[in-house]
Amino acid sequence: MEDIRVLLIEDNPADARLIREMLAYEKDVSFNLEWKDNLTEGLKRLAGGRVDIVLLDLMLPDSFGRLYTFTTAQAQAPEVPIVILTSFKDDDFAINAISMGAQDYLIKGQVDSNQLVHTIRYAIWRKQILKNHVSRFKKADNLKNLFTNMTRQDILNLADVIKTTAELGLGEAKGEGVRNALLKIRSNTDMLIGMIKTASTYAMLVESIEKLERRRLDLNMIIRKVADSFKPELEKKNIKLEYQVKSDCSAMVNPMIEDAFSNLISNAIKYSPESSKIEAGIIKESKHWKIYVKDWGYGIREADRELLFKRFQRVDEKGVMNTEPGLAIVNRIAELHGGRVGVEDNPEGGCLFYVEIPEMTD
């Protein structure tokens, strides 16, 4: 015979007695019913474990409202299914409670013995099915992450081999055609490596927890370091990078903030014409720092700006196109820091991209 341990949290003795009698009629299941007449005692019993299901009255004398009653009981033992018992018919609250994890919502006086028994058994069954699905999903997700990391590294290794082979071939190349072909291979391989690294960074950020480890860093020093790393790209296009020097611009940030600045400057170089300039700087506004990168490129239409910071979006003269997730990375890093990103017109032509990061205190 099936044995089910039921915890009834109900302040009305008459209702508790009725529930006990209704469960006693069932012959195929043995219900071990424990009754607690207030939320405090009910939570203590839940903490002790060995409970298969909770029948929960929402209006308890030591609670602070219906939602508080449910969420507190759920938080105490999230693995235990909860069926709500109430004297009030409130469809909106019922839908809300079920969407938050309640297994069912029963109205006192409108439930017979068979319905109560079926509700309890189905609630336990649904909770177990959900638990199994979650467990399988976690295992599948772990396997996916393992496969992704292995595949990423394998592709990067292959790309490095191709690049190295092309560079070795350049030293022995005879003829302009062969040399140009090898240069193209090397250039495209560099682009492939960059795309793989950027895509994996974006995937990592999407799955990142909302709370980051932070420490006080000088944004001024970080953006200077990033700017220096782009000297070869700047020289290749004969672009001058002007940096508006600031003193200490400290904020509580994660070191990944460097990736946001790097993507903004990289984006500006990529879409700026040759022999132009780029300006980067930091402005203090209220309780946050505004880090900006301004270019003198072709600009972005107002209608396209909303899509810019979404995954795999880029804008060129023809409008929005699917491409690398560089600006999506900037957006996600800003979100994880409680900040935001944006783009404005450069009055002299071009765009001004910015990231706002809260200054914060230790």
pLDDT, position 144: 66
- CATH architecture, domain 215-358: 2-Layer Sandwich (3.30)
- Return the top range by mean pLDDT from 135-144, 237-246, 273-282: 273-282
Q: What pairing do the DSSP bridges indicate for beta strands 277-285 and 288-295?
A: antiparallel
Cβ-Cβ contacts under 8 Å for 116 (sequence gap 6 or more): 19, 22, 23, 106
Instruction: Kindly report the CATH number that applies to the domain delimited by 2-111.
Output: 3.40.50.2300
Indicate if the pLDDT at residue 221 is higher than 80.
yes
Structural domain spans, the chain: 2-111, 135-206, 215-358
In this prediction, residues 247-276 reach a mean pLDDT of 88
- Which burial class, exposed, middle or buried, applies to 253 when counting CB atoms under 10 A from its CB (0-12, 13-18, 19+)? buried
pLDDT, position 148: 65
What's phi and psi for 76, nearest 5 deg? -70, -35
pLDDT, position 321: 42
pLDDT, position 322: 41
Please state, in angstroms and as integers, the Cα–Cα distance from residue 223 to each residue in 198, 233, 336, following that order.
19, 16, 19
Q: What percentage of residues in the chain have a pLDDT greater than 70?
A: 86
Please state, in angstroms and as integers, the Cα–Cα distance from residue 148 to each residue in 134, 162, 338, following that order.
20, 21, 29
pLDDT, position 210: 54
pTM of the model: 0.49
Q: If you average pLDDT over every residue of the chain, what do you get?
A: 83
Q: Residue 83: beta bridge partners?
A: 55, 104
In this prediction, residues 338-345 reach a mean pLDDT of 90
Indicate if the pLDDT at residue 324 is higher than 60.
no
Compute the distance between CA of residue 32 and CA of residue 21 in angstroms, rounded to an integer.
12
Cβ-Cβ contacts under 8 Å for 151 (sequence gap 6 or more): none
Q: Residue 244: beta bridge partners?
A: 281
- Return the top range by mean pLDDT from 24-38, 295-309, 323-337: 24-38
Q: Which helix (H) or strand (E) holds 280?
A: strand 277-285
In this prediction, residues 255-275 reach a mean pLDDT of 89
Indicate if the pLDDT at residue 291 is higher than 90.
yes
Residue reference for tokens 């474990």: 49
Compute the distance between CA of residue 235 and CA of residue 227 in angstroms, rounded to an integer.
12
In this prediction, residues 83-112 reach a mean pLDDT of 85
DSSP category for residue 273? P
pLDDT, position 275: 92
Compute the distance between CA of residue 272 and CA of residue 325 in angstroms, rounded to an integer.
18
Indicate if the pLDDT at residue 245 is higher than 80.
no
Please state, in angstroms and as integers, the Cα–Cα distance from residue 177 to each residue in 25, 173, 312, following that order.
91, 9, 34
pLDDT digits (tens, 9 = 90+) for 198-207: 667 666 666 6
pLDDT, position 320: 41
CA-based radius of gyration for the chain: 30
Compute the distance between CA of residue 345 and CA of residue 237 in angstroms, rounded to an integer.
23
pLDDT digits (tens, 9 = 90+) for 73-94: 988 888 899 999 888 788 888 8
Cβ-Cβ contacts under 8 Å for 154 (sequence gap 6 or more): none
Between 150 and 54, residue with greater pLDDT: 54
